[in-house]
Protein backbone atom coordinates (compact mmCIF):
# COMPACT_ATOMS: atom_id res chain seq x y z
CA UNK A 1 0.00 0.00 0.00
CA UNK A 2 1.27 3.46 -0.83
CA UNK A 3 1.29 6.36 1.60
CA UNK A 4 -1.61 8.13 -0.10
CA UNK A 5 -3.68 4.90 0.06
CA UNK A 6 -3.54 4.49 3.86
CA UNK A 7 -7.18 4.41 5.01
CA UNK A 8 -8.52 7.36 6.97
CA UNK A 9 -12.00 6.07 7.89
CA UNK A 10 -12.11 7.58 11.37
CA UNK A 11 -15.40 6.26 12.76
CA UNK A 12 -13.87 4.73 15.91
CA UNK A 13 -10.88 6.97 16.50
CA UNK A 14 -12.52 10.22 15.42
CA UNK A 15 -12.45 12.78 18.19
CA UNK A 16 -9.81 10.90 20.21
CA UNK A 17 -6.05 11.39 20.37
CA UNK A 18 -5.56 7.68 19.54
CA UNK A 19 -4.23 6.83 16.11
CA UNK A 20 -3.06 3.70 14.31
CA UNK A 21 0.41 3.45 12.92
CA UNK A 22 0.52 1.81 9.50
CA UNK A 23 3.45 1.10 7.27
CA UNK A 24 3.21 2.12 3.66
CA UNK A 25 5.54 2.54 0.72
CA UNK A 26 6.79 6.00 -0.14
CA UNK A 27 7.59 7.13 -3.68
CA UNK A 28 11.08 5.55 -3.40
CA UNK A 29 9.69 2.14 -2.40
CA UNK A 30 10.75 2.42 1.24
CA UNK A 31 8.44 1.61 4.12
CA UNK A 32 7.45 4.61 6.23
CA UNK A 33 5.23 4.99 9.27
CA UNK A 34 1.94 6.63 8.40
CA UNK A 35 -0.68 7.72 10.93
CA UNK A 36 -4.22 6.50 10.26
CA UNK A 37 -7.49 7.25 12.03
CA UNK A 38 -8.76 3.79 11.14
CA UNK A 39 -10.38 1.86 8.34
CA UNK A 40 -13.82 0.38 7.85
CA UNK A 41 -13.06 -3.37 8.30
CA UNK A 42 -11.25 -2.66 11.57
CA UNK A 43 -14.06 -0.33 12.68
CA UNK A 44 -16.60 -3.09 11.99
CA UNK A 45 -14.57 -5.59 14.01
CA UNK A 46 -14.26 -3.19 16.95
CA UNK A 47 -17.97 -2.39 16.85
CA UNK A 48 -18.79 -6.12 16.79
CA UNK A 49 -16.51 -6.79 19.75
CA UNK A 50 -18.01 -3.96 21.82
CA UNK A 51 -21.49 -5.16 20.94
CA UNK A 52 -20.66 -8.62 22.30
CA UNK A 53 -19.13 -7.11 25.46
CA UNK A 54 -22.19 -4.92 26.01
CA UNK A 55 -24.52 -7.87 25.47
CA UNK A 56 -22.65 -9.98 28.04
CA UNK A 57 -22.56 -7.05 30.47
CA UNK A 58 -26.32 -6.65 30.18
CA UNK A 59 -26.81 -10.33 31.04
CA UNK A 60 -24.65 -9.88 34.13
CA UNK A 61 -26.53 -6.68 34.99
CA UNK A 62 -29.74 -8.70 35.04
CA UNK A 63 -28.05 -11.23 37.35
CA UNK A 64 -27.15 -8.34 39.68
CA UNK A 65 -30.71 -7.02 39.62
CA UNK A 66 -32.00 -10.50 40.49
CA UNK A 67 -29.56 -10.72 43.42
CA UNK A 68 -27.44 -13.58 42.05
CA UNK A 69 -24.33 -11.47 41.40
CA UNK A 70 -22.83 -8.34 42.94
CA UNK A 71 -22.35 -5.06 41.08
CA UNK A 72 -18.65 -5.88 40.99
CA UNK A 73 -19.38 -8.60 38.41
CA UNK A 74 -21.12 -6.10 36.18
CA UNK A 75 -18.33 -3.55 36.39
CA UNK A 76 -15.66 -6.16 35.67
CA UNK A 77 -17.54 -7.17 32.53
CA UNK A 78 -18.36 -3.64 31.44
CA UNK A 79 -14.75 -2.54 31.85
CA UNK A 80 -13.36 -5.69 30.19
CA UNK A 81 -11.42 -6.77 33.24
CA UNK A 82 -10.90 -10.14 34.89
CA UNK A 83 -10.83 -11.07 38.58
CA UNK A 84 -7.15 -11.92 38.16
CA UNK A 85 -6.27 -8.44 36.94
CA UNK A 86 -8.36 -6.73 39.62
CA UNK A 87 -6.71 -8.91 42.26
CA UNK A 88 -3.29 -7.75 41.09
CA UNK A 89 -4.38 -4.10 41.18
CA UNK A 90 -5.97 -4.29 44.62
CA UNK A 91 -3.99 -6.82 46.64
CA UNK A 92 -7.04 -9.03 47.17
CA UNK A 93 -6.66 -12.65 46.18
CA UNK A 94 -8.25 -13.81 42.96
CA UNK A 95 -10.44 -16.10 45.05
CA UNK A 96 -11.67 -13.15 47.13
CA UNK A 97 -12.49 -11.08 44.05
CA UNK A 98 -14.47 -13.99 42.59
CA UNK A 99 -16.26 -14.43 45.92
CA UNK A 100 -17.12 -10.71 46.00
CA UNK A 101 -18.62 -11.14 42.52
CA UNK A 102 -20.59 -14.32 43.15
CA UNK A 103 -21.79 -13.63 46.68
CA UNK A 104 -23.54 -10.26 46.84
CA UNK A 105 -24.12 -10.69 50.60
CA UNK A 106 -20.35 -10.73 51.14
CA UNK A 107 -19.74 -7.85 48.72
CA UNK A 108 -22.23 -5.59 50.48
CA UNK A 109 -20.61 -6.29 53.88
CA UNK A 110 -17.20 -5.05 52.71
CA UNK A 111 -15.75 -2.06 54.53
CA UNK A 112 -15.59 1.30 52.82
CA UNK A 113 -11.78 0.93 52.63
CA UNK A 114 -12.10 -2.41 50.83
CA UNK A 115 -14.72 -0.98 48.47
CA UNK A 116 -12.37 1.96 47.85
CA UNK A 117 -9.55 -0.43 46.86
CA UNK A 118 -11.84 -2.25 44.43
CA UNK A 119 -13.19 1.01 43.00
CA UNK A 120 -9.67 2.40 42.56
CA UNK A 121 -8.64 -0.81 40.76
CA UNK A 122 -11.55 -0.28 38.36
CA UNK A 123 -10.91 3.48 38.11
CA UNK A 124 -14.45 4.29 39.28
CA UNK A 125 -15.92 5.75 42.46
CA UNK A 126 -17.27 3.70 45.36
CA UNK A 127 -20.71 5.08 44.56
CA UNK A 128 -20.44 3.77 41.00
CA UNK A 129 -19.09 0.44 42.26
CA UNK A 130 -22.07 -0.28 44.50
CA UNK A 131 -24.59 0.71 41.84
CA UNK A 132 -25.24 -0.20 38.23
CA UNK A 133 -24.46 3.24 36.79
Give domain status of residue 70, yes or no. Answer: yes
CB atoms within 10 A of CB 129: 22
Give domain status of residue 43, yes or no. Answer: no
Radius of gyration of the chain (CA): 21
Q: Are residues 116 and 59 in the same domain?
A: yes
For 65-116, what is each residue's pLDDT tens digit? 999 999 999 999 999 999 999 999 999 999 999 999 999 999 999 999 999 9
**pTM exceeding the 0.85 threshold for the entire prediction:** no
CATH code at position 73: 1.10.260
Distances (CA, A) of 27 to 1, 24, 129: 11, 10, 54
Bridge partners of 89, per DSSP, are none
The residue segments making up the domain with residue 82 are 53-129
Give domain status of residue 24, yes or no. Answer: yes
Q: Compute the residue count for the chain.
A: 133
Q: Please give the Cα distance from 46 to 102 (Å, whole number).
A: 29
CB atoms within 10 A of CB 69: 22
Per-residue model confidence (pLDDT) at position 18: 75
Per-residue model confidence (pLDDT) at position 123: 97
For 45-72, what is each residue's pLDDT tens digit? 988 999 999 999 999 999 999 999 999 9
Confidence of residue 36 (pLDDT cuts 50, 70, 90): confident
Amino acid sequence: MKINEVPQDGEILKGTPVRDVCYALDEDGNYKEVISVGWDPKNDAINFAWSAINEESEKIRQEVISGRQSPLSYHLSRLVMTPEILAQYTGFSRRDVKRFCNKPEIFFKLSYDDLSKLAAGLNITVEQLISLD
